[in-house]
Structure formats: structure tokens, C-alpha cells
Amino acid sequence: MDHFQYRDGVLHAEDVSLEALAAEVGTPFYCYSTATLERHFDVFQKAVSPPIAGGTAPLIAYAVKANPNQAVIATLARKGAGADVVSVGELKRALAAGIPASRIVFSGVGKTREEMQAALAEDIFQFNVESHAEAELLSETAAAMGKVAKVAFRVNPDVDAGTHAKISTGRAENKFGIAIDTAPAAFARAKTLPGIEAVGVAVHIGSQLTDLAPLERAFTRVGELIANLRAGGHAISRADLGGGLGVPYLSDQPDPPSPASYGEMMARVTKDWDVCLTFEPGRLITGNAGILVSRVVRLKEGKERCFVIIDAAMNDLIRPSLYDAWHDIQAVRPRGNEQMRADVVGPVCETGDTFAEQRDMARLEAGDLMVFRTAGAYSATMANSYNSRLLTPEVMVSGDRWAQIRARPTYEQLIAQDTVPDWLNQEE
């Protein structure tokens, strides 16, 4: 459920008209709904917490990479969320938005010594370590600082998550995690290292998962591993089950499994684990809490197709060109029930700058406002300035209030990011 609904024929974000917002902010822009963000967090939290799942309250570490805007993280921080970060930049963002270090998990295959130092200095909750070499570097770095880092080894369970290849992470050929059958050896080696304490197992098999079966297979393997490790004398007190649960992108398709059914499956599989659980949802929290609003520049009748050319482009929302992703399209003020079939494209000089091909949708004309739904995750954060287009601004709505949470830069600011070397400024 979300809070982008029509009122008097005009699409609103909560109580704010998108027509009014577009008049103030200009297009294109991203718009997030606070009520939707909060609702998604609540629904997920309820689904994975006691009494539905046994044991103690889990840590819900929001995957910051899905949407790292300070206002988004701060909204979730107020609800008690932790953060899953994959770089020192994300660590700083999470801390700046009010997430305590004691609720921060550091994931990722390429943590550098400097990043480890920054996270160790904050005494974060956990490092999810993805190789023995990384464990050795963390050990050396922590020991030099007089710290002991809590570590979970991320295991690769070799299951096919059944999602797009570019967001599948749990197959043996993917770069992520250590092969699950080598985990006992990794824990044994880690035990000999100072500065780290291997207390848990982590798994994350991919994103936009629409079937619980691969997740259940992965969790089951983690359960077997935990038993195996304990039999080998390792004290395992934590398990991190990652993120990945999919969200509905297509309004006319069956919805992915609900957080409730995910929670039921998870509770059944983990009931005897006796560990502190962590989850790392990203897309599930922010995906349907955001839209991209754009204006139609003009219609162009091609030889075979009609093109709707809009003022947003692949630099603003890259998911269609990167992942062949589908985003539902809606008119902000539909013209009755009039429909059209068209290709929706941006102004960037790439054929890949196509949002939708031969899409059946509400009729749009030059000057009309339209939106792409489900643009709250992996959208604004992947925006860039290709074709010297200004970075897309972001707006957050809460009831009848709204605020720009990232302003559109000026062209002067865009150009001022570059520096011309002295030798080009010297008079000949």
C-alpha cells in the first residue's frame, strides 16, 4: 500500500498535489511519501518480530544503498531502524542521519583499511566479512587500534535467487561471500586471529526476489551451518539474513510474497537457532514510497512508433536501461479514460534512454505531467549528470507538508565542479 492516490482527478502524494509541487520545484523530480516509508518499515518489523517470530527483537538494518538521502534515513532512524552500509560514505550518512553505531552493519567485498578504521573508531555493531583476506586485514587493523570487531562471515549458499542476473548475488560464480562449505575452515582460522571475534553468519542472495523458495533454501543451509559450527566449538550468537524481498513493480501482475509470508517462513526455519537476528531490507522499505515526476516535452510521430519525449532521462532513472526494469506510468491529470500506445523516451543521446517500449498507457500530450511509480529505491541514488543534465532534485511529503530534501543544483555549480589546470589559463 502507498499514499500516491488521485483526488479530484489529480495524482497526490499524501495531501500534496503533484501539479502544485511541479509548479514549485520544476521537473523532473523525485517525490517520497513519509507515511509510505513508515508503513513499510512497520509492516516489515511486525512480520519479523516476536510473537510472530520467536526470540528477541531483531535488528532491522535498512540497506542505505537503496536510498541514501538523509531525510529518508532520518525518517527510518526515528522508527528505530539500524543501517546496513557498504562504504565509509554510507557509514557517515547513516551516523549523520541519527542511526547509532551500535545498530550499523558494514557489508561489502571491498572494504579498505581506511574504511575499517573509520568503522572501528565508531564501534559499529558488526562487520560482514566476505573473505579470509578481509578477515586478516580487519584483524590487523582492529588489533592495532586496540579493538575487537564483531564479525559475521557472509556465506555464499550457491542458490539461484531467480532474479535479474545483475542483482543475483548467491550463486557460486558471484563475487559475494565465502563458499558455504568452506565456512568452518574460515571460522577456525578466524579464531586464531587477534582483534576479531567471529560470532555470526550472514547471507544475502539477491534483490527483487519474488519467490520465497530460494530464500528458504539459503536460510536452511545457514541453519545447518550454525549447528555444524557449534558442534565444532564455535559460539554463534548472531545470524544476518540480508534483504532482497521484492516489491510490486507491475500493477497488473501478482504481488511478490508479502512480508508476513516471508516472516512466517523465516520464523519456521529459524525457530531453533537461538541467535540474535538481523535483516537488511532496502527496496522493500523505499521502493514504492517514491515516484519520479516528469513533464512531456513533445510527442513525435516516428515512422512506425509514437514517441513520448519527456524531460526525465536515463541519467535520472537508469533502472530501465540497466536492468530492463518496468516502471508503471501514470498521468498526473488523466484525460478521462483516453489511452495511447507509445515509446516513452528521454532527451539523452543514447538509444538506451528508453523508459518503456510500446506501452499502453493514459494519453499524454505536450506539457502534461506524468510519473514513474516505484522509484524510491535504486533510483535517485543512481542519478548522474550525463549530457550535463542537472542532478535530479528530491522532495519529501508528510501529510500536507513538503520539503526539498535535495535541491536542484545550478548550472554554475555543475560547471564549478571541474577545474581548468593553470597551464590552460596562462596567456601565450
| 157, 170, 259, 282: residue in contact with ligand PLP (rule CB under 6 A) | 282
Whether the CB-CB separation of 82 and 59 falls below 8 Å is answered with: yes
Residue 202 CB, nearest approach to ligand PLP (Å): 8
Cell numbers of 86, please?
557498504
Q: Is 357 annotated as a binding residue?
A: no
Which residues 6+ apart lie within 8 Å of 278 measured at CB? 58, 59, 60, 61, 82, 105, 126, 202, 238, 239, 240, 241
Nearest of 420, 395, 397, 392 to residue 408 by alpha carbon: 392
Nearer to ligand PLP by Cβ, of 281 and 393: the residue is: 281
Residue 244 in the binding site for ligand PLP (CB under 6 A): yes
Residue 107 in the binding site for ligand PLP (CB under 6 A): yes
Residue 103 in the binding site for ligand PLP (CB under 6 A): no
| 195, 214, 281, 334: residue in contact with ligand PLP (rule CB under 6 A) | 281
Q: Is 280 annotated as a binding residue?
A: yes
Residue 374 in the binding site for ligand PLP (CB under 6 A): no
Active-site residue list: 349
For the stretch 71-88, what's the b/e string if a residue is b when 16 or more beta carbons lie within 10 angstroms of its beta carbon? bbbbbbbeeebbbbbbbb
Residue 284 in the binding site for ligand PLP (CB under 6 A): yes
Distance CA 270, CA 288 (A): 28
| Class of residue 3 by CB neighbours under 10 A (exposed 0-12, middle 13-18, buried 19+) | buried
Nearer to ligand PLP by Cβ, of 292 and 313: the residue is: 292
Distance CA 68, CA 211 (A): 27
Residue 63 in the binding site for ligand PLP (CB under 6 A): yes
Which residues 6+ apart lie within 8 Å of 330 measured at CB? 11, 361, 362, 370, 371, 373
Q: Is 224 annotated as a binding residue?
A: no
Residue 326 CB, nearest approach to ligand PLP (Å): 16
Cell numbers of 197, please?
571475534
Nearer to ligand PLP by Cβ, of 242 and 334: the residue is: 242
Nearer to ligand PLP by Cβ, of 244 and 346: the residue is: 244
Stretch that binds ligand PLP, among 58-66, 136-144, 257-265, 316-324 (CB under 6 A): 58-66
Distance CA 118, CA 142 (A): 11
Nearer to ligand PLP by Cβ, of 22 and 291: the residue is: 291
- Find cell 562449505 and name the residue: 181
| 177, 242, 259, 393: residue in contact with ligand PLP (rule CB under 6 A) | 242
Positions 70 through 99 that interact with ligand PLP (CB under 6 A): 84
Residue 40 CB, nearest approach to ligand PLP (Å): 11
Residue 65 in the binding site for ligand PLP (CB under 6 A): yes
Cell numbers of 419, please?
577545474
Nearer to ligand PLP by Cβ, of 175 and 401: the residue is: 175
Interface with ligand PLP: number of residues (CB under 6 A)? 15
- Find cell 590552460 and name the residue: 424
Distance CA 215, CA 207 (A): 11
Whether the CB-CB separation of 283 and 378 falls below 8 Å is answered with: yes
Stretch that binds ligand PLP, among 129-137, 239-247, 298-306, 383-391 (CB under 6 A): 239-247
Question: Which region holds residue 374: left if phi is over 0, alpha if psi is between -120 and 50, else beta?
Answer: left
Q: Is 363 annotated as a binding residue?
A: no
Residue 158 in the binding site for ligand PLP (CB under 6 A): no
- Find cell 531453533 and name the residue: 272
- Find cell 586478516 and name the residue: 136
Whether the CB-CB separation of 204 and 66 falls below 8 Å is answered with: no
Residue 210 in the binding site for ligand PLP (CB under 6 A): no
Nearest of 129, 103, 99, 102 to residue 115 by alpha carbon: 129
Residue 192 CB, nearest approach to ligand PLP (Å): 26
Residues making up the annotated binding site for substrate are 283, 319, 323, 350, 378
Binding site for ligand PLP (CB under 6 A): 63, 65-66, 84, 107, 204, 207, 242-244, 280-284
